[in-house]
Structure 1
Amino acid sequence: MILDGKAVSEKRLDLLKEEIDESGLYPRLATVIVGDDPASRMYVRMKHRACERVHIGSVGIELPETANTEDVLDAVRRLNRDQDIHGILVQLPMPGRIDTEKVIEAVAPGKDVDGYNPFNLGKLFSGHPVFAPCTPRGIITLLDEYGIDISGAHAVVAGRSIDVGRPMAALLLNRDATVTICHSRTKDLAGELARADILVSAIGKARFIGPEMVKPGAAVVDVGINHVDGKLCGDVDFDRVAEKAAAITPVPGGVGPMTIATLMENTFTAAKRIICSRVV
């Protein structure tokens, strides 16, 4: 079974557009980008196009490559104060001289639709998430859409990053999975992966995971984005693993579209929370 993130995201965006139109609200998302990295600019354009599709207003703040940490903080603070902005997304990665952690901490938790602010991560790890990072939350949505039972499953997450690996593990744990996190120092990595009922890979190594690392009948979610010979591929050797897994995400067309759809959903949630709090 192919876990078609593109099809599921299209469905959810259509439903979200209807919900926004019926609500009478006008959610607005602001993006902040520093420099001219082509990949980052492409991702920001995709997010703005998704906003247009579901009737979310969007504002793009573009800072030059020469911007420093204080410049970025000033932009974030202005957006925090702007009552017409409900969601703020700081496009990562930022240039090395920027203190990314400081910038993320500056985003108001109620507008942190990326879910990276320490307050929102704390809520997630305490089992009471408000805004969870978009890629992990999108993965949970995708598994649910295809009826993959998380409760009681042995889930293995390959990768311990704060944007995917750790929040992914927390979301799975919140859904009653038994969770193992693997990383570069894990002993017998292949053996750990092969015990997974649900395997999520976010290690960034092209086609690293082969069929010998996958349990027969497992659900395999590939977060990896790698370029090999001018083509996009994931961490999983898709063609060979697909013969052994019960369910698998393609790259592209799997996790990526779900990330953007989740960002739109988080933005609408933020708008409802902010606007309702003013009414009260």
Structure 2
Amino acid sequence: MSVRETNAPAEPKAERTQERASRARSASGAAQQQPALEARGLGVRHPGGVEALRSVDLAVHAGTFVGLLGPNGAGKSTLARALAGLVRAGAGEVHIDGDPLASLPRREVARRIAFLAQEPPADPGFTAAEVALMGRTPHLGPMGLDGPGDRALAAEALARVDAAALASRPLHALSGGERRRVHLARVLVQQAPIWILDEPTAHLDLAHQALVLQLARAHVDAGGTVVCALHDLGQAAEICDRVAVLRGGAVVAQGTPAEVLTPSRLGEVFGVPFVASVHPATGEPLLVPALRLRGGGR
């Protein structure tokens, strides 16, 4: 599925190639600056001593969309949570704009990083509008009182994620996809420069998958930073400036999608063969699993 609107005509290949080249130049220029978010030798162990991440080095620069890819259990969600300061690192450090994340108060971290969990909580007792408004919490005063401007931001964010009609409904009464869009509205309302999104397209139909990724891409194009765990390799190839591939808790490859997403590497990481093809509408390179789902063969 393309992240462009499904009813939009395909862009000419030359225009898409030029856009990718422009993004690559921007990413190259950003690489000369201090990373907005950086993991240095990051290691995490789950309770019981199970190693979830080992020696992860990852530098994410402002104005860059970085995709985290890999099979189930590779460490994508753990890395996303560790980068947001939600998992204690057993080794190494995470830095935000050069500051050790562990040294920052949680309110300051929340002003800099907005996190969307893989399974956002249902938050019983709260309406969609109230959940979206929670994004303003790091910016409120000591009394924690929101004002008309905060509520207007929440209403605008719900509209941007196509959830305005859900504003008065309790969150626990919404579908999984609807709840995900409401929590994305909370991310928008938080107005943090760095977004960390853990499988943001899960539970969403095709049109809303495109909408969510377009919003994330717009945030990057406006100078923000996105780290996003994804399962759809086609989406990653189209929207990401850089990707990091994880396997067994380690980053085994990182670079531009063109550099990293090759049939041989994907076959090795995911354990299924891939073949290179060409998208019939855009002419872009396309990698697809060479699986035979009937007959039990590969």
When normalised by structure 2's length, the TM-score is 0.29
**More helix by proportion, 1 or 2?**
1
Question: Higher relative contact order by CA 8 Å / sep ≥ 6: 1 or 2?
Answer: 2
Greater strand fraction, Structure 1 or Structure 2: 2
- TM-score normalized with structure 1 length: 0.30
